[in-house]
Structure 1
Amino acid sequence: MATRVFADEELARLREFPEIGREELFRFFTLSPADLAFVDPGRGRGPADRLGIAIALCTLPWLGFVPDRVVTAPPVAVARLAEQLRVDGTDPFLRPPRPDPHRPFAPGRAVPGWRTAGALELEELDEFLLARAMEHDSPTLLFRLGCEYLISARVIRPGPVSMVERIAHAREQAQRETYDRLAHEFTPARCAELDALLVTDASLGVSRLRWLSTGPVEASAAAVRAEVDKLAFLRGLDADRLDMSVLPAERRRFLATMGRRLTPQALERRDPQRRYPILLTVLAQSGTDVLDEVVALFDQAISAKFGAAERRMQAELAERGKTGEDRQALLRAVVDFPRVRSAR
């Protein structure tokens, strides 16, 4: 399941230290007085233990987990912590040990302020992922949001494979939840109407779904008539009365985008629990979009006619002014003619 989202190399990178920037270095790898007290040498810890614990303490707020190989921490981060601890971070024998994930850093002591992901924490994570999956379907985005949530809750992140499996489960739950919220709309008559959108219409040469999803290419009277025909078709299916507020706006946008992107054949192959919510959302969204398109096209057509009429009026006024000037020139020539003749 995890390989569908991340390749093996990406999974490996998610278990290791990434590169660190200057802002992250100063933000996360600055030991507080409480951190210094926790790694106090008076507790019987040697320089390597203290440095390893400091690396782990600073890595948790940064990554949400501590990589197994602490020795691969960014050298600049190790040097910064060594300076604060006043130990020689360049000593090749100073190898920070790997923390015990069950007894972090010290026997009987937990990481200050952090806790491992137990049954309660994982249940809360699943609830968070489901809520986000109702808004976003991208697995990589859900992975990032889940990691951010765990860091904010100060819960140590499970392994990436476990995270991806929980994200996949949340996405499946979101699909079921979407269908359940719209189930009252899926009467036999409505389902037949939705399936008919996928059938090629002989008069159009394409399916009604593609017809509704294809917008006009120019603002013309023919384009306005075509959009009005779509609007009449949609209102005949009561698309303007569909209440989709039971779904988050992001979920509706995602379903409508998917419905317009997939081919009718691809939608026909999907099971009804997935197909009908997509088609219903496209129908409702088309009702709004086509109405807006009709208004915009009508406005553009009126503006174009008004602009053309204004240009014709200006041209006629210019022609009339030119004619008036010609008449005045002729009148002056007639008036001045006797004077010119007498002067000769």
Structure 2
Amino acid sequence: MAYEFLSDEQVRRYGVFVADPTPEELERFFFLDQQGLALARKKRRRHNRLGWADQWGTARMLGTFLEDPAGVPRVVVDYVADQLGIEDASCIKEYAERGPTQYEHTGEIRDLLGFREFADAETEIAAFVASRVAKTRDSRRELFDRAALRLVEERVLLPGITPLTRLVAEVQRDTLGQINAAVVAPTPVHTRRALIETLEVPGGQRVSTLEWMRTPVTKLSGAG
């Protein structure tokens, strides 16, 4: 599995609501500005107005669209419905039944908010991950989270989880390979050999020489 290095929690929360948005998040992402409110009100039926507005806010907060728009937390639906003057927010269920309408709306919202497809931004995201690998000690899991956040910040629609994890793994591997090659190249052969020997476990010992050197002294003594 391409994303085997991720935790179950990372897989579970990718591109979805994991909890109800806070009041601050509702105001930041789901408060309809003048343009958003005008466009939502142009939709002919109330469930289409509500569904469009929910998707508009979802894209702003998560950087993607939900496969099932009815999966938006109820607090979001109620917040948006109140702005649109829709008394019965349960009509969102009718919107979920209209696949072609949802597709049309996502295209409109993508263009309105200036979102790009992952393929159009893959090179710059790879460069961002490579920079993190070169300058930090981020693990693959940390690199994945930072890459996902970067996509949202740059208004790039989140891809499936597999393409992003594959990019992170490949960029980390290639960047570390380049760094290793740059470090090894000027190192004399005898020094390389001596370093490799520290990885071996000497006879009668339980750990390698390198591990022995890395282990801190636990008892202060002359020998220690």
User: Quick one: distance in 1 between partners of 2:205 and 2:18?
Assistant: 54
- Give the letter for the 2:91 counterpart: D
Runs (5+) with no aligned partner, structure 2 = none
User: Quick one: distance in 1 between partners of 2:178 and 2:28?
Assistant: 40
What SS does the aligned partner of 2:90 have? coil
- Report deviation, 1:35: 1.4
- Give the letter for the 2:38 counterpart: A
- Report deviation, 1:69: 0.7
- Give the match for residue 131 of structure 2: 131
1:45/1:4 CA distance change after superposition, 3 Å: same
Q: 2:106 aligns with which of 90, 101, 104?
A: 104
1:158/1:196 CA distance change after superposition, 3 Å: same
1:156/1:127 CA distance change after superposition, 3 Å: same
- Give the letter for the 1:104 counterpart: T
1:173-184 pair list within 5 angstroms: 173-184=174-185
User: Quick one: distance in 1 between partners of 2:10 and 2:68?
Assistant: 17
1:163-174 pair list within 5 angstroms: 163-174=164-175
Residues 50 and 84, structure 2, Cα contact 8 Å, conserved in 1: yes
Is the counterpart of residue 19 in structure 1 residue 58 in structure 2? Answer: no
- Give the letter for the 1:128 counterpart: F
1:9/1:197 CA distance change after superposition, 3 Å: closer
Residues 197 and 207, structure 1, Cα contact 8 Å, conserved in 2: yes
What SS does the aligned partner of 2:111 have? coil
Residues 114 and 156, structure 1, Cα contact 8 Å, conserved in 2: no
User: Quick one: distance in 1 between partners of 2:72 and 2:89?
Assistant: 12
1:91/1:52 CA distance change after superposition, 3 Å: closer
- Report deviation, 1:26: 3.3
What SS does the aligned partner of 1:162 have? helix
What TM-score do the two structures reach when normalised by structure 2?
0.82
User: Quick one: distance in 2 between partners of 1:85 and 1:184?
Assistant: 65
Choose between structure 1 and 2: higher helix proportion. 1
Give aligned pairs, total.
218
User: Quick one: distance in 2 between partners of 1:68 and 1:174?
Assistant: 35
Higher Rg: 1
- Report deviation, 1:61: 2.2
User: Comparing both chains, which one has the higher relative contact order based on Cα–Cα distances under 8 Å and sequence gaps of 6 or more?
Assistant: 2
1:190-269 pair list within 5 angstroms: 190-201=191-202, 206-223=207-224
- Report deviation, 1:197: 0.7
- Report deviation, 1:13: 4.9
192-201 vs 121-130, greater mean Cα deviation? 192-201
What TM-score do the two structures reach when normalised by structure 1?
0.56
- Report deviation, 1:194: 0.9
User: Quick one: distance in 1 between partners of 2:208 and 2:193?
Assistant: 14
- Report deviation, 1:164: 0.9
Is the counterpart of residue 143 in structure 1 residue 124 in structure 2? Answer: no
What SS does the aligned partner of 1:133 have? helix
Is the counterpart of residue 57 in structure 1 residue 56 in structure 2? Answer: yes
- Report deviation, 1:39: 1.7
How much is the aligned-residue C-alpha RMSD, in angstroms?
2.8
- Give the letter for the 1:59 counterpart: T
- Give the match for residue 71 of structure 1: 70
- Give the letter for the 2:106 counterpart: P
- Report deviation, 1:34: 2.3
